[in-house]
């Protein structure tokens, strides 16, 4: 498992497993969202499969499924050419 170095005032805010893919390739990554509690600054670290520990490997598919459903449940709008479209 690859350890992520946190600053003195940083904390892990969320861990988001995601299956990503394109033509002819696929990958399972884990996005680690980190926030600085003192400044409000945010950063994201992307962990590759070979950087995951046993727990993250075990929970990956459950977490990815939950995250995808949560993502789909968020109502959003997109503006295209100054016209708002509900997505």
* 46 lies in some domain: yes
Q: How many domains does the chain have?
A: 1
pLDDT of residue 85: 61
Asked whether residue 34 is domain-assigned, the answer is yes
pLDDT, tens digit, for every residue of 31-66? 999 999 999 999 999 999 999 999 999 999 999 999
pLDDT of residue 16: 96
Residue 80 pLDDT level (bands cut at 50, 70, 90): confident
* Beta strands, E only, 1-59: 10-22, 25-36, 42-47
CB contact at 8 A, 27 and 60: no
- Sign (positive or negative) of CA dihedral 74, 76, 63, 36: negative
Q: Which domain holds residue 67?
A: 10-86
Band of the pLDDT at 83, cuts 50, 70, 90?
Answer: low
pLDDT digit string (tens) for 18-28? Answer: 999 999 999 99
Collapsing DSSP states into helix, strand and coil, what is residue 50?
A: helix
């Amino acid at each position: 498992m690859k350890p992520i170095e946190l600053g003195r005032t940083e904390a892990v805010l969320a861990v988001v497993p995601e299956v990503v893919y394109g033509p002819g390739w696929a990958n399972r990554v884990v996005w680690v969202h980190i926030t600085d509690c003192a400044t409000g600054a945010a950063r994201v670290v992307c962990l590759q499969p070979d950087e995951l520990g046993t727990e993250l490997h075990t929970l990956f598919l459950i977490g990815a499924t939950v995250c995808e459903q949560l993502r789909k449940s968020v109502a959003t709008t997109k503006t295209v050419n100054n016209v708002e479209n509900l997505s």
